[in-house]
C-alpha cells in the first residue's frame, strides 16, 4: 500500500486515488482499528432500552446520550471496527435532542457563532471528543454557561456512534435520482419558482431549550394515525415496508396542504421538524409535498 501511495504521488494522480476510495488510516496506539467504511444514508429504529450513543465507534468512548426502544434515528455512515480482537459494526447517527453538547463560550455572541470551524464537543473541555462543527453566523440554543464553556442544544450536524446490532435500519430512497410529481401551494408569480432550499441552507431556532427545531427533507409513506387518541398529528410518516415491517419516523401536521389525498403513498416532505425532549418521535410541520414514483 505504501509503494502504491508513493507511485500515486510521484505520478501526480493522488487526487484520483482518493476519488477511488484508496485511503489508508492509522488508529491511535491501543485504540480501535477501522477496517471498513461505507455511507449508509438510512433511517433506523432503536431496538433496546438505554442504548448508549458514543462520541466515536468504540465501547470505551464517552457516552454522549442514551436512546430508548422505538426511538427513530437518522443513519449517515457505517464502520466496521476491530477492537480487542473482535469486529463490531457501528452506525453514525444524528444526535438526539437530549444529547449534551458543549462549545467554548467565547465563540458565542447573542446566540450566534462568531468564528468559523468551531468544534462542538461531548463535554466542557478540549479533552472531550468532537461531535460536530459550527460555521460562522450559525444560530445555536444555549442551555447554560458554566465558566469557559456553554452547553448547547445539538444541531443537525452533530453526530455520535451506536452499535449497529441495536438499530433496525431501513434504507431510504435516493431523492436525487427519483422523479417526482410536485404540488406546491404558493400564490401565482410571474417568474419561475426557484428549487426548494436544501435542509442545510435553512436555520430554524426554537426559543424553548427543550425543543430541537430544524428544516428537513424526508421520504416515506404517509399514513393516518388510527391507534392513538392523543397523537400530536393526524398523520404519520412511516418507513417503506420491508419484510412486512415498518416503523414510524414522525408525526405530520400541515396547516395549508390537504394530506388526505396522499394517504398510503410514497412522498417526499419538506418542512420544520420539532423534537421535544422526552418525546419518542418528532413532529414535522409540512410546507411542501412531492409524490415519489
Q: Which fold has domain 101-153?
A: SH3 type barrels. (2.30.30)
Of the listed ranges 59-68, 97-106, 133-142, 203-212, the least confidently predicted one is 203-212
Q: Which residue has the higher pLDDT, 167 or 15?
A: 167
CB atoms within 10 A of CB 200: 11
> Phi and psi dihedrals of 145, rounded to 5?
-125, 130
Identify the DSSP state of 230. Answer: T
Q: How confident is the model at residue 177 (pLDDT cuts 50, 70, 90)?
A: very low
CA dist list (Å): 121 to 62, 72, 101, 128 = 11, 23, 6, 6
**16-22 long-range CB contacts below 8 Å, 24 or more apart?**
none
Q: What is the pLDDT of residues 3-56, one digit of tens each?
A: 444 444 444 444 333 333 333 333 333 445 544 444 456 788 998 888 999 999
pLDDT at 182 over 90: no
DSSP H helix total and E strand total for the chain: 2, 20
Domain boundaries of the chain, sorted by first residue: 101-153, 173-292
* Per-residue pLDDT at 221: 92
* Per-residue pLDDT at 187: 52
Whose cell is 467554548? That residue is 104
* Per-residue pLDDT at 181: 45
Q: What is the pLDDT of residues 228-281, one digit of tens each?
A: 778 888 899 999 887 778 888 899 988 788 888 898 999 988 888 888 888 888
How is residue 7 written as a grid cell? 507511485
Counting Cα atoms < 13 Å in the Cβ hemisphere of 286 gives: 27
Amino acid at each position: 500500500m505504501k509503494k502504491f501511495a508513493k507511485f500515486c504521488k510521484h505520478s501526480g494522480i493522488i487526487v484520483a486515488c482518493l476519488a477511488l476510495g484508496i485511503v489508508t488510516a492509522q488508529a491511535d496506539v491501543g485504540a480501535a482499528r477501522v477496517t471498513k467504511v461505507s455511507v449508509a444514508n438510512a433511517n433506523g429504529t432503536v431496538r433496546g432500552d438505554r442504548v448508549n450513543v458514543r462520541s466515536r465507534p468504540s465501547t470505551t468512548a464517552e457516552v454522549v446520550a442514551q436512546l430508548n426502544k422505538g426511538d427513530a434515528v437518522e443513519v449517515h455512515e457505517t464502520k466496521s471496527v476491530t477492537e480487542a480482537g473482535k469486529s463490531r459494526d457501528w452506525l453514525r447517527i444524528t444526535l438526539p435532542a437530549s444529547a449534551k453538547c458543549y462549545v467554548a463560550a467565547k465563540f458565542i455572541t447573542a446566540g450566534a457563532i462568531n468564528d468559523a470551524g468551531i468544534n462542538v464537543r461531548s463535554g466542557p473541555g478540549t479533552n472531550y471528543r468532537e461531535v460536530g462543527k459550527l460555521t460562522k453566523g450559525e444560530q445555536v440554543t444555549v442551555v447554560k454557561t458554566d465558566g469557559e464553556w456553554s452547553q448547547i442544544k445539538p444541531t443537525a450536524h452533530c453526530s455520535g456512534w451506536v452499535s449497529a446490532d441495536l438499530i433496525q435500519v431501513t434504507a431510504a430512497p435516493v431523492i436525487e435520482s427519483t422523479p417526482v410529481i410536485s404540488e406546491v401551494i404558493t400564490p401565482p408569480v410571474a417568474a419561475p419558482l426557484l428549487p426548494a432550499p436544501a435542509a442545510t441552507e435553512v436555520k430554524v431556532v426554537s426559543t424553548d431549550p427543550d425543543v430541537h427545531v430544524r428544516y428537513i427533507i424526508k421520504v416515506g409513506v404517509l399514513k393516518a394515525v388510527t391507534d392513538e387518541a392523543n397523537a400530536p398529528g393526524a398523520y404519520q410518516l412511516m418507513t417503506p415496508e420491508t419484510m412486512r415491517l415498518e416503523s414510524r419516523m414522525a408525526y405530520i401536521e400541515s396547516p395549508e396542504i390537504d394530506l388526505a389525498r396522499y394517504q398510503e403513498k410514497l412522498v417526499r416532505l419538506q418542512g420544520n421538524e420539532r423534537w421535544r425532549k422526552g418525546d419518542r418521535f418528532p413532529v414535522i410541520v409540512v410546507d411542501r409535498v412531492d409524490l415519489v414514483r
